Amino acid sequence: MKKIYKVIVALVLALSLVCVFALAACGNKDDETKDNPSGSGSSYTVTIVINDSDTKTQMVEAGGTATEPEEPTSDSGSIFAGWYADSQYTEIFDWNSEITENTTVYAEWITVGEGQSVVTFYANYDGGGKLAVVAVDTGDKMFNTPSASRTGYKFMGWNTAADGTGDTFQYGSYVRENMSVYAIWYKGYVMEAEYTDLTDQYGEDLVFYQYSNNLSGTGAIIADDTCSNGKFLCSGSQASKYMLFEVTSAVAIDNATLTMTASMNYGYGISDNNTYPDDGDSIGTVCVTSSMCKITVFSASNVTDENAAKTYTGGTSMSYDTMSFNMSTVTDLLGHCAFSTFTIGNISLAKGTNYIRILVTSDANRTSAGGQTTAKSVNVDCLTIYSSEESNLTQKTYQT
């Protein structure tokens, strides 16, 4: 009986040890997955290095964002200068960025000497935080203002007020005390060429040309994955062809910036027979000037309706730098070079409806370029207008 009892006890102890080891193994596996989730794709560790002795961690789901901690302070008198994605403090960490791997964020600290003042540069948008903190001898000029960038926006400079109503702070500005300055941004409003009205003043479809093809109305909208909306509007390739963008602004604006994303069709710069040095072309390169591709901006108050806008001869004509297109790799007769973005210049828009017209004005003997192609004009992906967010620009859409 005693022998049976001892056997039972031994079996119970053995089973207990097996369970303990199994649970421990499971616990270790979970901890390993949590701390180093490679392969799981469910969550990642964000390590926040505040200083050599203070580190915090966050677990973030894949594709999520980390939470920016409260701004740390130092007992040593150092000043917190921002969060960085690298230990050399060369890349600002964006708290809006998606977490797709284990990530380390570093706090930068600067020491302020006696007789110095501190200038703090703020990104001035949610998640942007501090971009830089610079110590300058009090009374001296600032000669190392940092640059700033933000997807979909244009950096307009630094200002002592977050809403841009303060004093401009720039290279050479005096620093007489501790101060904060803020990045001022203009939002980029994209106006798609394929959304424009593709009928003339008589209601007939506009006809565009691509090498020797006639493209009528919406047939001139070409699919292209490299474009902002996956489409572009084909070149007119003959004088008097135009595109008319209808843009509404919530307020009057005076200093918006206009850019155009465009390319050139096959037919120019391909061979000696298809180059026109008088226009600045060379073999493999095509140039388009503001006199060949006339861009005009005017408000609805100048015309009775949109049909009148199609033939209106007034407005502000833009003078812009020559657009240059590299055609050296274009061999397909129906092909085009890569799209590039060109700055057209600063424009003013009235409150309400405005028009931006792109008109082909060059008309030379270019039949050697192929078929109907008798003038240099551009394929247009889109226009982008950089303006204050209060303008809330919108485009009238005629087709999607």
Give me the pLDDT at residue 25, please: 42
> What does the alpha-carbon distance between residue 157 and residue 185 come to, in Å, rounded to a whole number?
8
Most confident of 16-20, 24-28, 300-304, 314-318: 314-318
CA–CA distance from 368 to each of 23, 67, 81, 241, 268 (Å)? 81, 62, 62, 20, 9
Give me the pLDDT at residue 374, please: 58
CA–CA distance from 367 to each of 56, 229, 279, 288, 375 (Å)? 69, 32, 16, 17, 9
Tell whether the model's pLDDT for residue 394 goes beyond 60. yes
Find all residues with CB under 8 Å of 34, minimum gap 6, and list them: 43, 45, 59
Confidence of residue 393 (pLDDT cuts 50, 70, 90): very high
Q: 286 is written with which tokens? A: 């095509």
Confidence of residue 354 (pLDDT cuts 50, 70, 90): very high
Give me the pLDDT at residue 181, please: 97
Tell whether the model's pLDDT for residue 358 goes beyond 70. yes
Most confident of 106-115, 143-152, 268-277, 348-357: 348-357
Tell whether the model's pLDDT for residue 83 goes beyond 50. yes
Instruction: Report the amino acid identity of residue 111.
Output: T
Q: Which of 79-88, 353-362, 366-375 has the lowest mean pLDDT?
A: 366-375
Residue range 79-97: mean pLDDT, rounded: 89
Nearest to 261 by CA among 211, 194, 348: 194
Tell whether the model's pLDDT for residue 368 goes beyond 50. no
* Per-residue pLDDT tens digits for 176-208: 999 999 999 999 999 999 999 999 888 888 877
Query: What CA dihedral angle connects 123, 124, 129 and 130, to 10 degrees?
Result: 50
Residue 117 burial (CB count, 10 A): 18
Q: What is the DSSP letter of 368?
A: G
Q: Which of 142-156, 157-171, 323-337 has the lowest mean pLDDT?
A: 323-337
Q: 354 is written with which tokens? A: 């405005």
- Asked whether 133 and 118 are in contact (CB, 8 A), the reply is yes
**SS percent in the chain: helix, strand, coil, step 5:** 15, 40, 45
Q: Phi first, then psi: give them for residue 390, nearest 5 degrees.
A: -65, -20
* Per-residue pLDDT tens digits for 304-324: 888 889 889 899 999 999 999
Residue range 384-400: mean pLDDT, rounded: 94
Residue range 77-84: mean pLDDT, rounded: 88
Tell whether the model's pLDDT for residue 371 goes beyond 60. no
Q: What is the DSSP letter of 26?
A: H
Give me the pLDDT at residue 15, please: 43
Give me the pLDDT at residue 322, please: 92
* Per-residue pLDDT tens digits for 273-295: 444 444 555 557 888 889 888 99
- Asked whether 399 and 194 are in contact (CB, 8 A), the reply is yes
Residue range 162-174: mean pLDDT, rounded: 95
Give me the pLDDT at residue 346, please: 96
Residue range 153-166: mean pLDDT, rounded: 95
Residue range 31-41: mean pLDDT, rounded: 44
Number of H helices, E strands in the chain: 2, 23
Confidence of residue 33 (pLDDT cuts 50, 70, 90): very low
